[in-house]
Amino acid sequence: METVEDVLIPETVATAKAAFLLSCPVCHLLVRRPPEASTGLFGRCPRCGETLHLRKPNSIARTWALIIAALIFYIPANLIPITTVTSLGSVQTDTIMSGVIYFIATGMWPIALIIFTASIFIPVLKLLILSFLVISVQRHSGWRPKDRTRLYRIVETIGRWSMVDVFVVTILVALVHLGALANVEPRSGVIYFAAVVLLTMFAAMGFDPRLIWDVKEPEDECEYFPGT
Amino acid sequence: MKNEHLIACHDCDLLHRVSEIPDGMSAYCCRCGALLAQSKRNSVERTLALALAGLFLLILANSFPFLGFKIQGQSRHVLLLTGIRRFYISGMPWLALLVLFTTFIAPLLQILLLMYVLLPLYLGVKFPGMFVLFRWVQKLGSWSMMEVFMVGVLVSIVKLAKMAQIIPDVALFCFMALIFVLAACMASLDPHQIWKQWKTY
């Protein structure tokens, strides 16, 4: 496979796609694309071994599937308790929301805010933004591509912070394990919640932000002139 | 012309002709604003040193208890792995695996692979599969969640503070140091510079 360090690109060509190049998703290496194969398999990156694609495969369908799966799991994640706390005989089950309410009720609103943001707000925000991005790509929207790309980058970076609640449960069940005196047991809600976090992370990874910009380019002719 | 090379933006696919970037400077995509490449000073040496520090801290952090819980004379000191074991016992093996992966396996692999790639670069020798493994360093990035775990620790401490006495233990300080070391390690890494070495090997 021919790698490209520097080629003379015609001034009308702006993107790697239009210049018949493939850009490795991990290491940025540019490889010359066989002109006969416009879609499909391009083999692996000669430098790092990553599978090469013109665009992430089935990006739209995959992102939709993962968004919908995450939405479905979001319901049990919020309805089923995540922990059962036994303390001196009294038994109490907690969902994600009841944990937030507990912190507000006891006046620890900064912690309530952290939990609410990480566990409830961020997953919903991610699903909304991703749905918006996918719909906008499907409708060939040309609306503020730079801001939409920025939205995508935000979704990509904040996703991992939703794991906070899973780690809190991990620490609680490890620490509070003193029989009848005090005990915390994990409940299945935390599995659904972890699934939501994972699915939204995969959904963000499956979406290809370059699709936002592809609208700018008609198949054969490129109207965009690269900044100089 | 010799020092220039092409980069396609990861986020919008625009081709850029990037010349040699001065130390400490970054190149951004002119169309969507994504970071294209960044040049860092003494990147290999610094990252290697921090990775080594990170490795020791990670081992220490997981070998000693990080929190203690004291109620009515009974106390309990736990490791990070205790919680993972409790998930496993409670019939949640996949959750146990997820937590194990994001808080231990991913950071550990990241550090080890990073050392495997950087050490030969530093010594100027070639190890088999260096560049293929470096790809995994980059892909593991979003799965290594030490800093998220630390926020979880803080929330847990506040949550339990009313119920019982919480004693911070040795490993907690290792965790704290580890987060800063890992962040500094990834910040000093210059992937672009490492990928560029490929041609000379």
pLDDT tens-digit series, residues A165-194: 999 999 999 999 888 888 999 999 999 999
Distance from CA of A213 to the nearest CA of B (A): 6
Q: Which phi and psi angles does A186 have, rounded to 5°?
A: -70, 145
A190 in B contact zone (CB under 8 Å): yes
Question: Which range is most confident: A39-53, A60-74, B156-170?
Answer: A60-74
Q: With beta carbons under 8 A apart, name residues in chain A contacting B156.
A: 168, 171-172, 175
Q: Contact, A211 vs A55, CB < 8 A?
A: yes
Judge whether A115 is closer than 8 Å to chain B, CB to CB: yes
Q: Please answer whether residues B144 and B110 qualify as being in contact, where contact means their C-beta atoms are separated by less than 8 angstroms.
A: yes
**Number of Cβ atoms within 10 Å of the Cβ of A198:** 21
Interface of A with B in 11-70 (CB under 8 A): 13-17, 19, 21, 23, 25-30, 47-50
Residue A98 pLDDT: 92
pLDDT at B200 over 80: no
Longest CA–CA separation in chain B, Å: 74
Of A1-5, B5-9, B16-20, B74-78, give the lowest mean pLDDT range. A1-5
Q: Which of residues 119-148 of A touch B (CB under 8 A)?
A: 145-146
- Contact assignment for A210 to B13 by CB distance below 8 Å: yes
How many Å lie between the alpha carbon of B6 and the closest alpha carbon of chain A? 6
Question: Structure pTM?
Answer: 0.88
User: Is residue B19 over pLDDT 50?
Assistant: yes
Q: What is the mean pLDDT of chain A?
A: 86
Name the residue facing A115 among B8, B10, B155 (closest C-beta): B155
**Residue A11 predicted with pLDDT over 60:** no
Higher-confidence residue of A122 and B23: namely A122
pLDDT attached to residue B201: 67
Is residue A121 predicted with pLDDT exceeding 70? yes
Cβ B163 vs Cβ B54: under 8 Å: no
Residue A84 has pLDDT above 90, yes or no: yes
Q: Which of B54, B48, B55, B52 is nearest to B190 (CA)?
A: B48
Contact B6 A6 (CB under 8 A): yes
Where are the domains positioned within chain A?
1-54, 59-213
| Residue B129: predicted pLDDT | 86
DSSP A4-63: ES--PPPTT--BTTTTTEEE-TTT--EEEPPTT-SSS---B-TTT-PBP-SS-TTHHHHH
Answer whether A170 sits within 8 Å of B142, measured CB to CB.
Answer: no
Q: Which CATH architecture has domain A59-213?
A: Up-down Bundle (1.20)
The mean per-residue pLDDT over the stretch B1-11 comes to: 74
pLDDT category of residue A120 using cuts at 50, 70 and 90: very high
Q: What pLDDT is attached to residue B97?
A: 96
Interface touch B13/A145, C-beta < 8 Å: no
pLDDT exceeds 50 at position A224: no
Tell me how many residue pairs between chain A and chain B have CB atoms under 8 A apart.
213
**Residue B52 binned pLDDT confidence (cut-offs 50, 70, 90):** very high
Q: Is A192 on the interface with B (CB under 8 A)?
A: no
Residues 7-26 of B with CB under 8 A from A: 7-8, 10-17
Model confidence at A1, pLDDT cuts 50, 70, 90, reads low
C-beta of residue A67 within 8 angstroms of C-beta of residue A60: no
Residues of B in contact with A108 (CB under 8 A): 158
CB-CB under 8 Å, B163 with A146:
no
Q: How sure is the predictor about B2, in pLDDT bands with cuts at 50, 70 and 90? A: very low
Q: Which pLDDT band holds residue A227 (cuts at 50, 70, 90)? A: very low
Tens of pLDDT along B94-139? 999 999 999 999 999 999 999 999 999 899 888 888 889 999 998 9
Q: Judge: A177–B86 Cβ closer than 8 Å, yes or no.
A: yes
For residue A25, give how far its alpha carbon lies from the nearest alpha carbon of chain B (Å).
Answer: 7
Q: Do A23 and B14 touch (CB under 8 A)?
A: no
pLDDT at A13: 59
The proportion of chain A whose per-residue pLDDT surpasses 90, expressed as a percent, equals: 53
What is the ipTM metric for this complex? 0.90
Confidence band (pLDDT; 50, 70, 90) for A38?
low
Cα A76 from Cα A79, distance rounded (Å): 5
Interchain proximity A174–B78, CB inside 8 Å = yes
